[in-house]
Amino acid sequence: MAFLRFSLVGGAGFVVDAAVFFLLVQGAGKAWWLARLLAFLAAVGVTWAGNRWFTFGSGGRPLGEGLRYLGVQSLGCAVNYAVFLGCVTAAGAERGLLWPYLAGTAAALLSNYRLSRHYVFRKPSA
């Protein structure tokens, strides 16, 4: 059940990430690499709050938990961005950014879940 909730929160984060990314690239004319970074940061805030409340019901200290979550998501971002950049490099940006974007997102999902569950939102031992 936690993975389903994590996926739902991730879906909301994906919508935020995609909206910010494509609005910045297409609407504001920002470079795709900068838009990708800013979209990631917006999505991290949304998913931390959602996973804290909805997925894991965390009662941990927000600051420490938030920092751990940012670290885990940054690792996931590195995986995401490496796959994204590899796809853009292999196919060329002129082929479009949607498939590289989706491939990067999918690549980070499982590691983000495992680290969030067992490191960020872990229940303290008695």
Helices (H) and strands (E) in the chain, counts: 4, 0
Tokens of 97: 């950014």
| CA dist., res. 8 & res. 123, Å (int) | 21
Structure confidence at residue 8 (pLDDT): 96
Helix or strand holding residue 9 (H, E): helix 2-22
* Residues 70, 61: Cα–Cα separation, whole Å: 14
Return d(Cα 105, Cα 119) in angstroms, integer: 21
Give the rounded percent of residues in the chain with a pLDDT score beyond 90: 55
At 27 the pLDDT is: 85
**pLDDT, mean of residues 62-66:** 89
- Tell me the C-alpha to C-alpha distance, in Å, between residue 74 and each of 43, 70, 71: 12, 6, 5
Beta-carbon contacts of 15 under 8 Å, excluding residues fewer than 6 positions away, are: none
The one-letter amino acid at 66:
G
What token pair was written down for 94?
């002129």
38, 24 Cβ separation under 8 angstroms: yes
Lowest mean pLDDT among 70-84, 89-103, 107-121: 89-103
Chain mean pLDDT for the chain = 89
Residue 48 has pLDDT above 90, yes or no: yes
